[in-house]
Chain A
Amino acid sequence: MKTILVTLGLLLAITTTSRLARAWDGPTMWYESATGGPGGADGPGGGGIIGTGGASDHNITCANCHIKGDANYGTVDFKPTFNPPIGATYKLGQTYQVTFAMVGEHLGLGQCMPYMKNINGFAAAFEDDSGKPVGSFRASYGSTTSCPPTIPKDSTDATYTYNDCHAVIGHDTNASWTFSWTAPAVSTPVTLYYAGVDGDCMMDSLMDDAKVGTMKLGGGVAMRDAPASGNRALAWLGLLPAIGFFAASRRAQQRR
């Protein structure tokens, strides 16, 4: 009986410990205070610096923390796909579904030790040449238009945008992240800043792999060449009176 009690006690200790065993890059931690305060709140956190490499993050990247990489450092990549395809530049006001897939993941794939996880990371931001966020996000949780102040703890959504919504953050156990981005309605040069981490099981920022990239999206063009399906339907609705008038004229001619 005594053994059982001791064992249960130790298991309780492990459970209590695991409550704190959250990765630095847990999605709730990015906007927590870097000092952990005030008043003993959770932390330390990222203080709102997401590490995309954009001006909104002071050009700080994920690689500023994820250092001392393993032997295969630099082999992971994060490939974006736009739907509809973005081509040479974006279309003004177009909403794109953007999916980033981690290619070449090579860390944390085996069995992690108890209470450890294969923690990855991803974040992206769209900025104009002055460094201001442009367009709007809709993530699995949160959107620019109704930007939530926080996200639920232990949420399992794939992507998040919250607090100041300057970036989209990926859930840390995924290897693919999808969100939508609506391009600005007014033409302006846009750069996509993105950064990702292939984490190992150790839940620290050492010995991981990291990739930082940018993608110039040009200055944007009007959407008349490829209107969205919704806009196309509206256009047909607008033509209905003309079609009705044309049909009525034909019928009148036939009667004569």
Chain B
Amino acid sequence: MKSYLLRRGWQSLLVLFGVSVVVFLILHLTGDPALLLLPPDATAEDVARFRRAMGFDDPVAVQYLRFLKGALRGDFGESLRHGEPAMGLVLERLPATLELAGAGLLIALCLAIPAGIVSAVRRNTPVDYISTIVALLGQAMPTFWLGIMLILVFSVRLNWLPSSGRGELEHLVLPAITLGLFTTARITRLTRSGMLEVLSQDYIRTARAKGVSEPPVVWKHALKNASIPIVTIVGIELGTLLGGSVITETIFAWPGVGRLSVQAIFNRDYPVVQAAVFLLASTFVLVNFFVDVVYTYLDPRIRFR
């Protein structure tokens, strides 16, 4: 088990290294980062001076090592717009994004797991059909449209909930539903198919045959074994949630990392973009490493792989 975790840890480090390369390359996509960072009316002389000052004339490998050295200390340079350290700006917004993603995930788990179980247990009944249809629609609905429709109904028409900003709990409701619906749909379908698979196993038949009543069969014997793929998908869905926050935060003017990065892209404030992309990607890598650690406790078979 120790060697498995060591190997996973080493792999995560490699992935983080790859993430840093990609984030570094974002600035070098057009070939000349100086032109990208300076306003379009900069003179050729300004560009040349800036290029020298920033070290853009050095070989790419040297520039990357310099970037990596900074990145390891959380230094991505200063925001071109705000004149503050880029990472500081991003970290300031991180709690808002984590709050939103956490709420989205919570909604998804609270709705999806019961829905998936009921769907599997009452297979081919109206309950199953309704939950399947809702899950299909949830997977087909674009986040930004759902958000706008929720605003239309609950903010514009009914005037029940605020349509933008962060603060009270009521501010969180619409964005969290918007962000969580896709994940809800995915986990519902996964739970349903996982439970159906487990419920047809021999050990479930044995449990029933020896007289265990239905609720413990479902909630104890079956769910425990169906939970392993659900834990995996929670790690992967976190990526969906962090990525989805870009859109959801833009619609609801939620002051998080996603909205900050969209604004930064339009302001051509690339240090902030790099810091945000790097932070969200590393969060994803670390969470998935953590999920793997949890996993080895849930499923002892993995320890011996």
Please determine whether chains A and B interact with each other in the same assembly. no
B contacts, CB < 8 Å to A: none
